[in-house]
Structures are given as structure tokens and as C-alpha cells.
């Protein structure tokens, strides 16, 4: 019986499966009846953060700060849905209060199941269930134990019998950034964005609705970003590029469609109406309430004539654009290892550097339709090391305003690209 | 009956040998207890694991800002599991920038103190580390670390430094185990 009650409680808290049937349930804003995400959701994109609870302390006060990674959506009513990466979710579960996990309205799993199922899957056999049972016989199943951990009533670290699974989990997140199995819902996340996972980055904040007309609405369209090499076809390392010091040209492009802001303007008109005369007033009209003599007095009143719809295309311009190049780990190892064996003292010259600003610049503008573009170019970049360079484009937008009122917060958006730099090695031909 | 003559000198020698053997037996009987208390590596596996731990910790804290970050990471990754290497690499940029800004040149000597946990394929080792000079943000040249090692096809490899919550869990578990023994000795 106790188990049945517990399962019922868990289902109530963590799997609001009845959401589709209840229009008042906040989950009904998130999913359609067929289980797909509601198209009205505003995709806020991926946000990263460096929270204390994802920091690994090293001796001598040093630390490795891992990135928390969330993909977030905003509902029309201002709730925020957060999908953490697998490793972020694990660390959130280990620090449910500090990470804001406990302040979520609820969690809903997709293919991988519930939050409890996720923890069971992530930790696997590294949970020392015998020790849990010896210390806490009240837990009849690992699920009950995980529920206590998620509620902040149990410290899971005491019961792990392995350690390597955490680095495996991190690897899983890095290799497949899209592995996000749990939706966390934060009610009024728009208003309280400072306290939700990922903070206020990109949160849409339309002005307060008027009382007489429909609420305003905001539609954010996803920007298109790219960063790539444009010339030459096969760039050589600078040391072998001696002829004309050609280097490589990199181009970054950003196109940000306008934020569509629909609002309704109340249009009033003045009408003359006959109202019931008060004591001391001389009636000059009949209110039509059945009296055969004048019982009212003419007055001018302002009444709502219509709610005029306005559609604004608000530009979200590029405020800053940065591009970097970093040599990937495989290439670094190849230079130091393989190349170092055949070419004495082969070393890495410059594995991480800024392209824009550094070797180039950018400029941007917005057209009359509210579409903003920016283009950055880094020309004749002298890549000094052979291998694969990871190109990274980071853009911050200005956010949008209408008549001085902030409509959407600045967005942090980015894109990745790759560039291969070649090295010509001499070969003996017999 | 045949009488075997034993000289006084041989008798003293025999008694001396008997005493030495008895002391030896007592020492051998008590030896495992001492090992458990100090947790000095007891098997060749433990010895290999603690050697890997020393190599890894010394690689992490051998820092010379004049060399490349990649060379520092390569030394660490050479003695790490693939996932341990990934973890360190992911968080290393900010750390290395601090060392470059501070112009850090540091060497480290590490020593395995005790094995504090072991599940067969993984071990946790407590280490002491001595640095030639302090690192940025710290004035210490000696500290303790708890590191996780994993047995791989290439032998024992460094996986990661344990987090504070894990260290506390292991230490509190040790405390619970050692408390009845301490009480028994009183």
C-alpha cells in the first residue's frame, strides 16, 4: 500500500501525465496532445553557465570549472522549460537546492523516462545498494532512495561505490550535446529569470498587458550563423606558405530575423449618453428605463471603440561578434607525438587565438524589415600549425525594445565550424 | 639409551634461536594489522596504482608557463584514462591562463599515503603533494589530494580528483569503521 501511495506521489510530482487533459496545467502549454512541443514556445537556444556546483576542486585552491549546459524554451505565459545536458542534470541532482532543481514545478522525461530513471541509468551499478539498505532499511527500492536524493533529504555521494562513471557521464554529454532527456518547468521563469538555471540570457519580456485588449505576443525566429574558410582550397601552414604568405581567409556570417511583436492598441471614442440624473441636476433626456418624463442627463463618455492590432518587426542587432580558432586535441597529439618522432623538436606554435577581433573585423546592420545581419572576415590568417582547427563564432545581440520598453533580452548565440590546415611532408620515392 | 652430549654454548645458542623465531612469528602475526592501519600499498596491484597516482599528480602540478598548454595536457593525458583526459582538458584553459598570467614555474613531488577505497577496478588514493613554490591564488606548498584511479588495459590510470562531497563521504565512512576499534583499545 505504502508503495502504491509513493508511486502515486511520484507520478503527481514528476510525471504530470494528465497535463494534456487539463488546460490549467502549465505543462499543457509545453506539449501538444500528440506529445510534440507546442509551436508557440519561444526557443531561447542553448545557454552555458559556470556554477559552483559543477566545479571540481583541486589541491592548492585550484579548480576545474565545468560548463553547465541548458537548452531552454519560453512559454507564452512566461514559464520557462529547461533541458539540461546529461552531465548538467546529474550535477543538478547531486545539488538539488543550489542548482535550482528543487524549485522546478516538475520534471517530465522524454525517451529516457523520469528524473529517477535517469539517475538510475547514469549511476548504474555504482550505487552500493547493500550499503543503502544497511543504513536505510526504509528504502525498499533504489527509486525511493533517488527520490530522497532529489528532495535534498539524502546525500547520494555516501553510497557510490565507483568513481569513473562521472567522467563517463561527462564524456556522454560532450560527445552528444543533444542528449537531453528531462524537461524541467519553471513557473514564471520570465519574471524570476535570475534564479532559474541559465539565468536571464535571451528571456523574452514583453510589456504588461492592457486590461481591455488582448495580450501582446512575441515570436522569436531562430538566427542563422556560420563560420567557415572561404579561401584557399587547401591552406598550408605558414612555414610552407612562403611564396605569397597566403594564409587562410575565414568568414563569419550572422542573419537574425526580426522579433515579431504583436500588440493591441485600445481605440476610444467620445459618445454622448443619457445617464440617470443625480439629485440637484435638471434632467434633459430620457434614459429609456420606463419613465414617461425625462429622468436623465446628457453626458460625454469615453468608450472603447476597438482594439487595433499592431505588428512590429523589431530588430535584434548584433552587439558583439567574436571568432576564435583552436587546434583540436587529436592534432596537438599528432604534432607532439607522430610529427615529433620524425621531425626533431616539432612543437605547437599557436593553438588558440582570436580571429575576430585579432586578424579581422566585422560590421553589421539592420534593414527596414527588422532583419539584422553581420559579416566578419579574417583574411590571410597565418595558421602556424597543421591539423584541424575548431572555429567558434560567438555573438551577443542587443535585445529588442519597443518605445523604450525592453521586449526581449540580449541573446548569446554561437556556431561552430572546422578548418583543415595542411602540412607538406617530404617522402622518399624509390 | 644413547646419551647426546650438548655443550653449554650450544644450549645458549638453541635458546637464542628459539627466542628469535618466537619474536619473528609474533611480528609476522601482527604485521597485517600494522599494514591495515597505515594502509601502505600491500599488493603489487596497489603498488602499481600508487605509482600511477604519483605520476599523475606530479604531471598535473609540474607547471612551466613558458611551455605550451598542450604539452602540459599531454603529460597529464599520457597517464590518464581517456575520460579523465577529456575532463581535465575541458576545464584546463582557464587554469592554464592563470598560470601564464602569474608566470608560474612549479615542480611537484607527490607521495601516496594510503588507499582509502577500492572496488577492484577502481581505487581512491590519498596523496601528499609538495610544490617548489605556491600556485596563483594560494600560499601553500604542501597539500593533500584524493584521486580516483581506474584499472585499464594499459594498467592503472588517473581518472580525476575527487570532489569535496566524495571525499567527505569516504572520510565519514572511514570514521564509522574505525570508531569501534578505537573504543575497544581503551
Q: Which residues of A touch B (CB under 8 A)?
A: 56-67, 94, 155, 157-164, 166-168, 170-171, 174, 327, 329, 332-333, 335-337, 347-348, 351-352
CB contact under 8 A, A164 and B122: yes
H-helix or E-strand spanning residue B44: helix B44-60
Of B61, B91, B129, the CB nearest to A66: B91
Phi, psi for residue A358 in degrees, rounded to 5: 170, -70
CB contact under 8 A, B61 and A60: yes
Residue of B nearest to A54 (CA): B163
pLDDT for A47 equals 80
3-class SS of residue B10:
helix
pLDDT for A80 equals 92
Lookup: cell for B115? 588507499
Residue of A nearest to B141 (CA): A60
Lookup: cell for A21? 487533459
User: B148 vs chain A: nearest CA distance in angstroms?
Assistant: 7
| Cβ atoms B161, A57 nearer than 8 A | yes
Q: Contacts of residue B70 in chain A, CB cutoff 8 Å?
A: 327, 332, 335-336, 348, 351
Of A56, A170, A347, the CB nearest to B161: A56
CB contact under 8 A, B172 and A158: yes
Can you tell me the distance from the alpha carbon of A46 to that of A55, in angstroms, rounded to the nearest whole number? Answer: 20
pLDDT for A10 equals 35
Nearest of A328, A338, A396 to residue A174 by alpha carbon: A328
pLDDT for B30 equals 54
Does the predicted TM-score (pTM) go above 0.80? no
Of B77, B92, B159, the CB nearest to A164: B159
Q: Where are the domains of chain A?
A: 2-195, 217-260+313-421, 264-310
Can you tell me the distance from the alpha carbon of A17 to that of A188, in angstroms, rounded to the nearest whole number? Answer: 21
CB contact under 8 A, B83 and A164: yes
Of B87, B89, B138, the CB nearest to A60: B138
* pLDDT bracket for residue B182 (50, 70, 90): very low
* Pairs across A and B, CB distance < 8 A: 121
The CATH class given to the A217-260+313-421 domain equals mainly beta
pLDDT for A90 equals 83
* Low-confidence residues in chain A, pLDDT < 50: 1-23, 111-112, 176, 178
Can you tell me the distance from the alpha carbon of A318 to that of A223, in angstroms, rounded to the nearest whole number? Answer: 11
HEC string for chain A: CHHHHHHHHHHHHHCCHHHHHCCCCHHHHCECCCCCECCCCEEEEEEEECCHHHEEECCCCCEEECCEEEEEEECCCCCEEEEECHHHHHHHHHCCCCCCCCCCCEEEECCCCCHHHHHHHHHHHHECHHHHHHHCCCCCCHHHHHHHHHCCCCCHHHHECCCHHHHHHHHHHHHCCCCCCEEEEECCCCCCHHHCCCCCCCCECCCCCCCCCCCCEEECCCCEEEEEEEECCCCECHHHCCCCCCCEEEEEEEEECCEEEEEEEEEEEEEEEEEECCCCCCCCECCCCCCCCCCEEEEEEEEEEEEEEEEEEECCCEEEEEEEEEECHHHHHHHHHHHHHHCCCCCCCCCEEEEECCCEEEEEEECCCCCEEEEEEEEEECCCCCEEEEEEEEEEECCEEECCEEEECCCEEEEEEEEEEECCCCCCCC
3-class SS of residue B127:
strand
Read off the pLDDT of residues A141-168 as tens digits, 9 standing for 90 and up: 888 888 888 777 888 887 888 877 777 7
Residue of A nearest to B110 (CA): A59
Residue of B nearest to A127 (CA): B119
CB contact under 8 A, A347 and B168: no
What DSSP character marks residue B136? T
Q: Is B70 on the interface with A (CB under 8 A)?
A: yes
Of B74, B129, B148, the CB nearest to A163: B148
pLDDT for A252 equals 96
Q: Please, which residues have CB within 8 angstroms of residue A332's CB and are 6 or more apart in sequence?
A: A348, A351, A387, B70, B73, B74
Read off the pLDDT of residues B18-33 as tens digits, 9 standing for 90 and up: 888 888 777 665 554 3
Interface of B with A in 82-101 (CB under 8 A): 82-84, 86-95
Q: Please, which residues have CB within 8 angstroms of residue A318's CB and are 6 or more apart in sequence?
A: A254, A256, A362, A364, A372, A374, A395, A396, A397, A398
Nearest of A55, A155, A90, A336 to residue B160 by alpha carbon: A55
For residue A232, is the peptide bond before it cis, meaning its omega torsion is within 30 degrees of 0? yes
pLDDT for B36 equals 36
Phi, psi for residue A105 in degrees, rounded to 5: -65, -40
| Cβ atoms B49, B115 nearer than 8 A | yes
Can you tell me the distance from the alpha carbon of A42 to that of A203, in angstroms, rounded to the nearest whole number? Answer: 9
Mean pLDDT across chain A: 81
Mutate to test the interface with A, among B64, B66, B87, B142 (most CBs of A within 10 A): B87
pLDDT for A402 equals 86
* pLDDT bracket for residue B121 (50, 70, 90): confident
Tallying the residues shown for chain A, one arrives at: 430
Q: Please, which residues have CB within 8 angstroms of residue A307's CB and are 6 or more apart in sequence?
A: A212, A213, A214, A264, A265, A266, A267
pLDDT for A279 equals 86
Please state which of the ranges A372-376, B69-73, B88-92, B115-119 shows the lowest mean pLDDT.
B88-92
User: A162 vs chain B: nearest CA distance in angstroms?
Assistant: 7
Which residues is A380 bridged to in the sheet? none
- The domain B43-180 is classified under which CATH number: 2.60.40.10, 3.40.800.10, 3.20.20.70, 3.10.450.230? 3.10.450.230
- The label of the residue with cell 553589421 reads A364
Residue of B nearest to A171 (CA): B83
CB contact under 8 A, A163 and B70: no
Of A64, A157, A336, the CB nearest to B70: A336
Residue A104 burial by CB count (10 A; 0-12/13-18/19+): exposed, middle or buried? buried
Q: Does residue B39 register a pLDDT over 50?
A: no
Residue of A nearest to B71 (CA): A336
More confident residue, B126 or A268: B126
Q: Contacts of residue A335 in chain B, CB cutoff 8 Å?
A: 70
pLDDT for B135 equals 93
Interface predicted TM-score of the whole assembly (ipTM), two decimals? 0.71
* pLDDT bracket for residue B100 (50, 70, 90): very high
Q: Contacts of residue A63 in chain B, CB cutoff 8 Å?
A: 91, 95
Nearest of A274, A122, A100 to residue A185 by alpha carbon: A100
Q: Contacts of residue B84 in chain A, CB cutoff 8 Å?
A: 167
* pLDDT bracket for residue B35 (50, 70, 90): very low
Q: Contacts of residue B138 in chain A, CB cutoff 8 Å?
A: 60-62
Can you tell me the distance from the alpha carbon of A84 to that of A94, in angstroms, rounded to the nearest whole number? Answer: 14
Of B74, B83, B91, the CB nearest to A333: B74
3-class SS of residue B107:
coil
Amino acid at each position: 500500500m505504502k508503495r502504491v501511495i509513493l508511486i502515486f506521489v511520484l507520478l503527481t510530482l514528476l510525471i504530470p501525465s494528465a497535463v494534456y487533459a487539463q488546460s490549467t496545467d502549465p505543462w499543457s502549454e509545453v506539449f501538444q496532445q500528440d506529445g510534440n512541443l507546442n509551436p508557440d514556445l519561444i526557443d531561447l537556444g542553448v545557454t552555458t553557465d559556470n556554477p559552483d556546483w559543477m566545479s571540481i576542486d583541486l589541491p592548492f585552491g585550484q579548480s576545474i570549472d565545468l560548463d553547465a549546459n541548458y537548452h531552454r524554451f519560453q512559454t507564452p505565459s512566461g514559464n520557462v522549460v529547461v533541458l539540461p545536458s546529461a552531465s548538467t542534470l546529474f550535477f543538478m541532482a547531486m545539488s538539488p537546492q543550489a542548482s535550482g532543481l528543487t524549485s522546478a514545478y516538475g520534471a517530465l522525461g522524454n525517451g529516457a523516462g523520469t528524473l529517477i530513471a535517469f539517475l538510475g541509468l547514469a549511476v548504474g551499478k555504482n550505487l552500493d545498494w547493500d550499503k543503502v539498505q544497511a543504513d536505510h532499511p526504509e528504502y525498499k527500492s533504489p527509486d525511493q532512495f533517488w527520490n530522497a536524493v532529489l528532495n535534498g533529504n539524502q546525500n547520494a555521494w555516501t553510497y557510490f561505490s565507483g568513481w569513473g562513471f562521472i567522467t563517463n557521464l561527462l564524456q556522454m554529454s560532450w560527445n552528444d550535446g543533444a542528449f537531453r532527456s528531462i524537461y524541467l518547468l519553471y513557473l514564471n521563469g520570465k519574471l524570476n529569470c535570475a534564479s532559474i538555471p541559465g539565468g536571464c540570457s535571451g528571456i523574452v519580456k514583453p510589456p504588461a498587458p492592457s486590461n481591455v485588449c488582448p495580450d501582446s505576443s512575441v515570436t522569436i525566429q531562430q538566427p542563422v550563423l556560420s563560420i567557415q574558410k572561404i579561401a584557399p582550397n587547401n591552406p598550408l601552414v605558414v612555414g610552407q606558405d612562403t611564396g605569397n604568405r597566403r594564409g587562410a581567409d575565414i568568414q563569419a556570417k550572422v542573419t537574425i530575423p526580426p522579433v515579431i511583436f504583436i500588440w493591441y492598441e485600445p481605440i476610444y471614442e467620445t459618445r454622448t449618453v443619457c445617464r440617470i440624473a443625480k439629485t440637484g441636476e435638471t434632467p434633459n433626456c430620457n434614459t429609456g428605463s420606463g419613465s414617461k418624463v425625462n429622468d436623465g442627463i446628457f453626458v460625454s463618455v469615453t468608450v472603447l471603440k476597438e482594439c487595433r492590432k499592431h505588428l512590429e518587426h523589431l530588430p535584434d542587432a548584433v552587439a558583439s561578434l567574436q571568432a576564435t580558432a583552436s587546434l583540436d586535441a587529436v592534432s596537438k597529439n599528432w604534432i607532439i607525438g607522430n610529427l615529433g618522432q620524425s621531425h626533431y623538436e616539432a612543437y605547437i606554435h599557436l593553438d588558440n587565438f582570436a580571429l575576430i577581433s585579432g586578424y579581422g573585423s566585422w560590421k553589421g546592420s539592420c534593414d527596414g524589415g527588422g532583419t539584422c545581419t553581420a559579416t566578419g572576415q579574417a583574411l590571410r590568417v597565418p595558421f602556424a600549425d597543421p591539423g584541424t582547427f575548431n572555429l567558434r563564432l560567438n555573438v551577443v545581440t542587443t535585445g529588442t525594445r519597443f518605445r523604450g520598453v525592453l521586449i526581449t533580452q540580449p541573446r548569446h548565440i554561437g556556431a561552430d565550424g572546422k578548418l583543415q590546415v595542411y602540412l607538406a611532408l617530404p617522402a622518399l620515392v624509390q | 639409551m644413547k646419551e647426546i652430549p650438548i655443550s653449554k654454548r650450544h644450549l645458549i645458542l638453541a635458546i637464542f634461536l628459539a627466542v628469535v623465531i618466537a619474536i619473528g612469528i609474533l611480528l609476522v602475526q601482527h604485521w597485517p594489522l600494522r599494514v591495515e592501519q597505515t594502509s601502505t600499498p600491500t599488493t603489487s596491484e596497489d603498488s602499481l596504482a600508487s605509482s600511477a597516482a604519483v605520476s599523475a599528480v606530479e604531471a598535473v602540478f609540474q607547471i612551466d608557463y613558458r611551455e605550451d598548454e598542450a604539452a602540459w595536457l599531454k603529460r597529464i593525458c599520457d597517464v590518464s584514462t581517456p575520460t579523465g583526459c577529456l575532463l581535465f582538458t575541458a576545464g584546463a584553459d582557464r587554469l592554464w591562463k592563470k598560470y601564464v598570467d602569474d608566470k608560474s614555474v612549479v615542480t611537484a613531488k607527490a607521495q601516496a599515503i594510503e588507499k582509502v577505497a577500492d572496488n577492484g577496478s577502481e581505487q581512491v588514493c590519498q596523496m601528499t603533494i609538495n610544490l617548489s613554490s605556491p600556485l596563483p591564488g594560494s600560499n601553500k606548498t604542501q597539500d593533500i589530494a584524493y584521486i580516483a584511479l581506474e584499472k585499464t588495459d594499459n594498467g592503472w590510470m588517473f581518472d580525476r580528483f575527487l570532489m569535496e562531497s566524495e571525499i567527505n563521504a569516504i572520510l565519514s565512512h572511514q570514521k564509522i569503521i574505525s570508531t569501534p576499534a578505537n573504543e575497544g583499545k581503551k
